[in-house]
Amino acid sequence: MADRTRPLEGELLRIRDEIYSYAIEFGLDFHPVRFEVCDYDTINILAAQGGFPSRYPHWRFGMDYDQLSKGYAYGLQKIYEMVINTNPCYAYLLNANHIVDQKIVMAHVYGHADFFKNNAWFANTDRNMMAVMANHGTKIRRYMERYGQNRVEEFIDRVNSIENLIDVGLLFETQELKRQREERMKTAKEEIAKAEDERSNALKSFMRHKERQNRPEQVEETVDLREKKINAPRDVMLYLLENAPLEEWESDILGILRDEAYYFLPQRLTKIMNEGWASYWHSHIMTTRALKASEIIDYADHHAGVMAMSRQNINPYKIGIELYRDIEYRWNTGRFGKDYNDCEDMHKKLNWNKDLGLGRQKIFEVRKTHNDVSFIDEFFTPEFCERQQLFTYKYNPRTGRNEIETRDFMEIKNKLLSQLSNFGSPVIEVESGNYHNRGELLLKHVHRGVDLDFGYASDTLKNIYALWKRPVNIVSKQEEQTVTLSYDGKEFKQSK
Amino acid sequence: MDHPIKRDHARFRKIVKGRIRDNLRKYVSKGEMPSPKGDGTFKIPMPSIDTPRFKFGDKSQGGMGQGNGEAGDPVDGQEGEGPGQGGDVGNQAGNKELEVDLSLEELAHILGEELALPNIEPKGKKAMPSVTNKYTSIGMTGPNSLKHFKRTYKEAMKRQIASGTYDFLDPRVIPVKRDFRYRASDAKVEFENSAVVIYMMDVSGSMGDEQKEIVRTESFWINLWLKSQYKDIEVRYIIHDATAKEVDEETFFKTRESGGTLISSALKLCREIIQADYDPSEWNIYPFHFSDGDNWSADDTKLCLEILDQDLLPASNVFCYGQVESRYGSGQFYKDLVSKYGEQDEKVILSKIKNKDAILDSIKDFLGKGK
């Protein structure tokens, strides 16, 4: 990778210094940002690998690379920039970009970098991930040499199946809580496996497995112990890591993939906020400071492209930037709180202005404490909804096309929230590791109005079975009825 | 050294190889024939492998959008607007299958690549050379209408940089007279080659809608490929039961007759068409015959083989027979052709098309010889 990217020089360096000074002037606060320049192929590689120059070998990265490359070749999409949440914060610029684009991108990147450093959901992410990812790659490559690429890759495929079964709440675990929990785990493990402290988690899990096999008379007891200690039921990855009969290398890989899933989780939780924040700042820096008269058309064209509204999807850039601007406006004019909300004089409300000037301060607070769900929940107003021309649509089987369903504020808001909640994944909890008193795994889908796709659920169960090695079940609802889907290694069963 | 992702990529391609063809197959067999969108482009899905996860069923889920319109107004119809925006950091959740707009040539190229089709060598002596002027070179003089702006400014920029008058901070480039460049023509010898495809299909009662759909899909891809290989291509259609007649494309796929089957009637008509319109010394001729293999009598089959031997085979590049499996067809004609020409004849290509999934293999049978 080293020869594929190079540091800034010449004109770009001068521009960087300029944009940097504006970012500081406006009070953005970030870890050092290291810009590198590269060609489109390199930026496609980086994007396919989640922004990182080095990952473990897996076809999935090849697939994403394939799609990005084709998309670029056919002129469908182009990546302007990449920025990674590390310290220092790495950002990549496309060498073929116009100089105006580079300015926009730099300003945009400083917005992201500020968000990464200050948003609460990112507080516990490992900023050293560049090295960590590279280590993960080395480890998995070594396992592949030892156990065969197919075998290891197949295992990774299975784990990828449950990569979304992690607990958002664990992001907020403070270091102290984490230490306490790990302490508890450790003692629990020692009781079961009597393994020594220096051994890795992976090895302990392996030993525990052996132990269970060797001493069948104690199975009941260990099962009981486990039953009481489902500490984080939504972290199915963790539960399997600690309780599934895995080999040492398997435990290690499961742990690695879980770490990576948690690393990316905050970004999945703050797509609208993060992109909105970065867009707010590139727009503000460009239009109030960095733009030259000759660059305005190019800037407007680029900015309009990024902000394009779509009738099929919500553009997070657009909703994000508009929501920040709306908040800023409301807190500048005092259009919030009981007085404003209770005011029934429409004329007075329309011309409401208390000249508070709290807007800028407010959006800095918001970017610190919210994620997409709370951001929308708290600041998405009927006026905003109407101004943004939002609607929900639904497939109409009679006409065979998607049609606008409603522009009703509450329905739109609810839909938006339900799409964002739990980063768009169904909430799945571990109910029991000894279901039917036969060591079966029971998962529970916490149903919040939308059914699971049972086709996908079946294939997922199959993959979990391969890890758990005993029958696996999931209880959910299907058209208002409670349904349990089971897989015992041979066939699927659905019972109501 | 190449980046390790190239190995991931190669691996993905390998895993997909079966899958790509499967995807293409599904696409071909769904009856979703790539239809022109008006601007000469088509769509094909990109290969992707799905990882199963617990996810919400999308039945009745719908989505959200922005824009004007009232309840009940359609949402679709203007996709692909605006420049694409790449994901910032790898978190594109719910990545749907991407679609690409393709021109016919690109589609043919993909087909050729996936099926490893060889390029067709037009019959040598029939290629007629013709000289055309192509504007592929650059000259120092010319009319203003042929001015090549990019080259002109490039020259001007080169001159300015060389003479040190180029200012990076104020990058104004002004061409002077000797910078101007013009498109100039080159005489190019091209070989005219034209091809005609003559489709014949049995429309007797035993050929059902499913069989016709197979023929329709297959003929689409065959036309696509041949069009990419020849400068000029004509397509003629013949339907037959006990008698044959020439029809247009629409009738060809719609007609359904009852009654008996005399394959010779179609071959005779095909012979007449060739003799009337297509001199074998100037045309590459591709007769394709599709049926379910039933023929009225052994005598008629004998007549068919005679016509083939004496008239059709000498005139054609290849003669292709595709046998579509149907519940009623005996498949006898295929056996008769095999016993006469064998399975590997150079000029008579036989293919059995069991179902929609076999279409791509059958196309490979027909076109894989590069004739």
Sheet holding A89-94, edge to edge: A5-7, A33-38, A89-94, A81-83
Write down which residue in B190, B214, B234 finishes a domain. B190
Q: Is the pLDDT of residue A294 over 70?
A: yes
Number of domains in chain B: 3
Do residues B218 and B155 both lie within one domain?
A: no
- Cα angle A6, A7, A11; round to 5: 115
Do residues B224 and B303 both lie within one domain?
A: yes
Q: B1 to chain A, minimum CA–CA distance in Å?
A: 10
CB neighbourhood size of B352 (10 A) = 16
For A90, which residue in chain B has the nearest alpha carbon? Answer: B89
Q: How far is CA A395 from the centre of its chain?
A: 28
Cβ contact B53–A460 (<8 Å): yes
Do residues B212 and B315 both lie within one domain?
A: yes
Cβ contact A76–B84 (<8 Å): yes
Q: What is the mean pLDDT of chain B?
A: 76
Cβ contact B90–A64 (<8 Å): yes
Question: How many CB pairs below 8 Å do chains A and B form together?
Answer: 242
Query: What is the C-alpha separation between A366 and A320, in angstroms, rounded?
Result: 12
Q: A177 to chain B, minimum CA–CA distance in Å?
A: 28
Identify whether B69 is part of a domain.
Answer: no
Q: Which domain holds residue B149?
A: 128-190
Q: Please count the helices (runs of H) and the strands (runs of E) in chain A.
A: 21, 11
- What per-residue string of b and e applies to A307-344 under the rule 16 or more CB within 10 Å gives b? bbbbbbebbbbbbbbbbbbbbbebbbbbbbeeeeeeee
Query: What is the C-alpha separation between A256 and A253, in angstroms, rounded?
Result: 5
DSSP assignment string, B80-146: T-S-----SSS--TT-PPPEEEEEHHHHHHHHHHHTTPPPP---GGG-EEEEEEEEEEEES---GGG
Query: What is the C-alpha separation between B234 and B223, in angstroms, rounded?
Result: 9
Sheet holding A427-435, edge to edge: A427-435, A440-446, A472-478, A481-487, A492-495
Query: What is the C-alpha separation between B162 and A142, in angstroms, rounded?
Result: 54
Q: Which two tokens stand for residue A11?
A: 């004109």
- The residues facing B353 across adjacent strands are B324
Q: Taking a C-beta distance cutoff of 8 angstroms, is the pair A372, A277 a contact?
A: no
Polymer length in residues for chain A: 496
For B51, which residue in chain A has the nearest alpha carbon? Answer: A161
Residues of B in Cβ contact (< 8 Å) with A394:
60, 62
Q: Out of B3, B67, B85, whose CB is closest to A45?
A: B3
Q: A87 to chain B, minimum CA–CA distance in Å?
A: 16
pLDDT tens per residue, range A184-202:
666 666 655 554 444 555 5
Q: Find the mean pLDDT for residues A160-174.
A: 88
For helices A316-333 and A271-285, angle between their N-to-C axes, nearest 10 degrees: 70
Task: Name the percent of chain B lying above pLDDT 90.
Answer: 9
DSSP assignment string, A252-305: HHHHHHHHHHHHHHHHHH-HHHHHHHHHHHHHHHIIIII--GGGHHHHHHHHHH
Residues of A in Cβ contact (< 8 Å) with B82:
305, 308, 310
For B98, which residue in chain A has the nearest alpha carbon? Answer: A67
Residues of A in Cβ contact (< 8 Å) with B79:
312
Per DSSP, A197 falls in state T
From residue B330, alpha-carbon distances to A117, B203, B294 in Å are: 74, 15, 6
Do residues B240 and B354 both lie within one domain?
A: yes
pLDDT for position B130:
66
pLDDT for position B19:
43
Write down which residue in B167, B190, B213 finishes a domain. B190
Residue B54, amino acid:
F
Interface test with B, best of A298, A404, A410 (most B CBs within 10 A): A404
Q: Find the mean pLDDT for residues A477-485.
A: 91
Q: Find the mean pLDDT for residues A164-189.
A: 75
Cβ contact B73–A164 (<8 Å): no
Q: How far is CA A48 from the centre of its chain?
A: 15
Query: What is the C-alpha separation between A254 and A239, in angstroms, rounded?
Result: 11
Query: What is the C-alpha separation between B228 and B109, in angstroms, rounded?
Result: 8
pLDDT tens per residue, range A17-66:
999 999 999 999 999 999 999 999 999 999 999 999 999 999 889 988 98
Radius of gyration of chain A (CA): 25
Q: In this structure, what are the phi and psi dihedrals at residue A157, rounded to the nearest 5 degrees? A: -55, -40
Q: Which two tokens stand for residue A122?
A: 């990112």
Interface test with A, best of B46, B89, B100, B172 (most A CBs within 10 A): B89
Q: Taking a C-beta distance cutoff of 8 angstroms, is the pair B288, B219 a contact?
A: yes
Query: Per the omega criterion (within 30 degrees of 0), is the bond before A88 cis?
Result: yes
Q: Is the pLDDT of residue A219 over 60?
A: no
- Comparing A151-160, A384-393, A457-466, B182-191, the range with the smallest average pLDDT is B182-191
- Comparing A198-212, A314-328, B29-43, B349-363, the range with the smallest average pLDDT is B29-43
Do residues B168 and B199 both lie within one domain?
A: no
Cβ contact A47–B70 (<8 Å): no
Q: Out of A71, A452, A460, whose CB is closest to B56?
A: A452
From residue B326, alpha-carbon distances to B209, B225, B352, B367 in Å are: 10, 27, 11, 24
- The two beta strands, A5-7 and A33-38, are antiparallel
Q: Which two tokens stand for residue A336?
A: 């919030």
Do residues B262 and B339 both lie within one domain?
A: yes
Q: Find the mean pLDDT for residues A468-493.
A: 93
Q: Find the mean pLDDT for residues A220-237.
A: 66
Do residues B5 and B110 both lie within one domain?
A: yes
Smallest CA-to-CA distance from A376 within A390, A360, A356 is with A390
Cβ contact B8–A59 (<8 Å): yes
For B65, which residue in chain A has the nearest alpha carbon? Answer: A311
Q: A458 to chain B, minimum CA–CA distance in Å?
A: 9
Q: Taking a C-beta distance cutoff of 8 angstroms, is the pair A292, A247 a contact?
A: no
Identify whether B200 is part of a domain.
Answer: yes
Query: What is the C-alpha separation between A77 and B86, in angstroms, rounded?
Result: 6
Q: Find the mean pLDDT for residues A339-356.
A: 90
Smallest CA-to-CA distance from B349 within B289, B303, B309 is with B289
Do residues B242 and B177 both lie within one domain?
A: no
Interface test with A, best of B7, B19, B64, B78 (most A CBs within 10 A): B64
Task: Name the percent of chain A lying above pLDDT 90.
Answer: 68
Residues of B in Cβ contact (< 8 Å) with A61:
5, 8
Cβ contact B48–A45 (<8 Å): no
Residues of A in Cβ contact (< 8 Å) with B102:
74
Q: Which two tokens stand for residue A314?
A: 């919500």
From residue A450, alpha-carbon distances to A365, A476, A479 in Å are: 33, 10, 9
CB neighbourhood size of A96 (10 A) = 11
Burial class (CB in 10 A: 0-12, 13-18, 19+), A85: buried
Query: What is the C-alpha separation between A326 and B223, in angstroms, rounded?
Result: 57
Residues of B in Cβ contact (< 8 Å) with A274:
88
Residues of A in Cβ contact (< 8 Å) with B13:
62, 66
Residues of A in Cβ contact (< 8 Å) with B23:
none
Q: Taking a C-beta distance cutoff of 8 angstroms, is the pair B97, B48 a contact?
A: yes
Q: Please count the helices (runs of H) and the strands (runs of E) in chain B.
A: 10, 11
Residues of B in Cβ contact (< 8 Å) with A66:
9, 12-13, 46-47
Residues of A in Cβ contact (< 8 Å) with B65:
309-314, 390-391, 393
pLDDT for position A378:
95
Q: Taking a C-beta distance cutoff of 8 angstroms, is the pair A89, A32 a contact?
A: yes
pLDDT tens per residue, range B50-86:
788 998 886 556 788 888 888 888 886 533 333 333 3
Tokens 């008629």 -> residue = B300
Domain spans of chain A?
2-119+270-293, 129-269, 308-421, 426-495
- The residues facing A428 across adjacent strands are A445
Burial class (CB in 10 A: 0-12, 13-18, 19+), A490: exposed
Query: What is the C-alpha separation between B45 and B23, in angstroms, rounded?
Result: 8
pLDDT for position A74:
66
Residues of B in Cβ contact (< 8 Å) with A236:
none
Q: Taking a C-beta distance cutoff of 8 angstroms, is the pair A430, A441 a contact?
A: yes
Q: Taking a C-beta distance cutoff of 8 angstroms, is the pair A118, A64 a contact?
A: no
The 3-state DSSP class for residue A225 equals: helix
Cβ contact A404–B72 (<8 Å): yes
Identify whether B108 is part of a domain.
Answer: yes
pLDDT for position A54:
93
pLDDT for position A477:
92
Cβ contact B56–A83 (<8 Å): no
From residue B14, alpha-carbon distances to A15, A67, B18 in Å are: 44, 15, 8
pLDDT tens per residue, range A373-429:
999 999 999 999 999 999 999 888 788 788 899 999 999 999 899 889 999 899 999
Residue A444, amino acid:
K
